[in-house]
Structure 1
Amino acid sequence: MGGLLIRVLAVALAALALLPPSPAAADDAELLFRFRDPAITESSGLAVSPTHDDIYYTHNDSSAEPVFYAVGGDGRTKATFRLGNAEARDWEAMAAVKDPKTGRGVLWFADIGDNLDGAWPDISIYKVMEPRKLADATLSAVRYRFRYADGARNAEGIMVHPRTGRLYVVTKEFVGSVYAAPKKLRTDRINTLRRVGSAPIMATDAAYAPDGSSYVIRTYFSATLYKPSGEVIAKVRMPELQQAESIAYTRDGTALLTGSEGERSPVYRVPLPTQETPTPSARPEPERTEAAAEPQGLTGLNVLIWLGAAALAIGGIVFLARITR
């Protein structure tokens, strides 16, 4: 049976070879650090501290505890934090912003993974005030529960607009979508996520720029920059990673940070070309409010390629099953 499984995986990999090649690896990508903490084995979310210099936050993927880590620029963990009133079914993403009114950092943790597309009746996202001191502690979080207006989804990306505080979820699907949370979140009832636009195929993370002038969506293959309205700015070449899971902007918004799962996994810094960074104006661009803009949906060519890949993989599995009976 093990041999059959290996052969099936080989067929699946051959099918994936039919996919369009990703952009060449970024030549100017810089290895920022590697996580040194042996407890960080599946870094899935990544965010830059809004208030602590040279501090980066991460958390593990599924089957983990509601724990996140504050990591220094040398890759060493400075503090480990636990959310005492939270659970972690499948934490997939996080976001960090500075409250424009108070100047306090605000962290968001998204328990939004759903590989069965309906395994959970609802999903949860936790809001935590950023710790003032980097010392191990148990923190209290505010839990917000959500449901998608059009049915359950698997998702791995969240982003928060730094000026309005509005929360967005980006789904990980062949036909990905961006969903907006209500402007005002409620803790006494389930909040509804409504589709406001499309996202690239199999998106693994997303993030807003610190000034709100753009956002980025990461996939296994590349990253795409958008204006708040959903208009595509440009694609950004990413370094080759074992499993590209996370993305964030640097605090000054001039570069992107991207990471991977795995032990001692790396975090890379990818500079943004000036021409690919929108210039903020006195009147900010409106955020997405409806599903009219469709900048990065699945194209007809993508559909044909994925159908061909799926057919090849299924055919290979059936053939192998017959000859090994």
Structure 2
Amino acid sequence: MKRTILCVEDERHLRQDIIEELIAAGYEAVGAATGREALSVLDTTRPDLILCDICMPQLDGHGFLKTLRSKRPDLADVPLVFLTALDGRDAIIGGKRAGADDYLVKPVDYDLMLATIEARLREVNRIDQNIQELRQTLSAAQSSGSPAPDALHKVFELLSFGVVLLSSTQVVFANRVAREIHRMGDGLSVDTGIRCDAAQISTDMRDCWRAACEASTQGRDYLSSLAIPRLSGGRDYHLTFCALEGAFTSEGDAQCVAFITDPQCRPAVPAKVLADIFNLTPTEAEVAQRLALGLRSDEIASDLAIAPTTVAFHLSNIFDKTGTRRQAELIVLLLTGLTSIDP
């Protein structure tokens, strides 16, 4: 199936040239002369990528992007590339901070334009493939009513934050991010055990580890977090211990899980993944994604240009759909997309 590119450009001859280049490269191409016209096109056409000029009458590129991201959460996974004569450093930084996925300058280098489109669409394909693999693995893991450890390990390797499965005495499994954190040696070690260089925090860590395992064997809920200082002086790692509540309680198997998040490299959980796994609406998925990234309710409201009461309404629906009651439980669930935590 051909990919569809929407080209938003007010200069008619240039717009036509771009469309012809796209068609010659094997794409379907749709044109729009202004941001407003492009929004109308989106009512009937879902593009795979949008090329957008910045300086346009009626509704410019920045206005179009802001409207697109706030009013059309169903298109949140569609890349947008600014194509403009504004080639100054500040203009490029401003465009990327506004939410553009890439930035091309005029005069148009068609080879560079096509290479950029190909790169962005490959990125979309990788996300789609990861979603499909995640859904298939979850389906297989849940079909027997008790997820198999090997199936869960495959899912953990897809995640963008550290996951460490622990028995009462040792590390049972550490995903690729946890292994990388250990390799960096910046204050947190994950090998046969999980520990840090600060004596008191190591004691607190062992206490949390033990309490989580005890809660698991007793079928109780347990959730506790610690800040782990970096040797380099950067922002602390966040380490959260969570009981697995009987999921893996045979001898030698995991009894608790530790999640490692890095505020210097926040995990970006795709809204589409959250929507697919938890059956969320597009807006609920956008709210959930920002919650998983650590935003407060007022920050989510500002980011999505909606009222705080609307955020509260969506959060209530998310709690209902995920079977959680406390925000800490919800964040853990959103980050993994795997383990239901009953309060």
Query: What TM-score do the two structures reach when normalised by structure 1?
Result: 0.23
Question: Greater relative contact order (Cα 8 A, min sep 6): structure 1 or 2?
Answer: 1
Query: Which one has a bigger Cα radius of gyration?
Result: 2
Higher-helix-fraction structure:
2
Report the TM-score, using the length of structure 2 for normalisation: 0.22
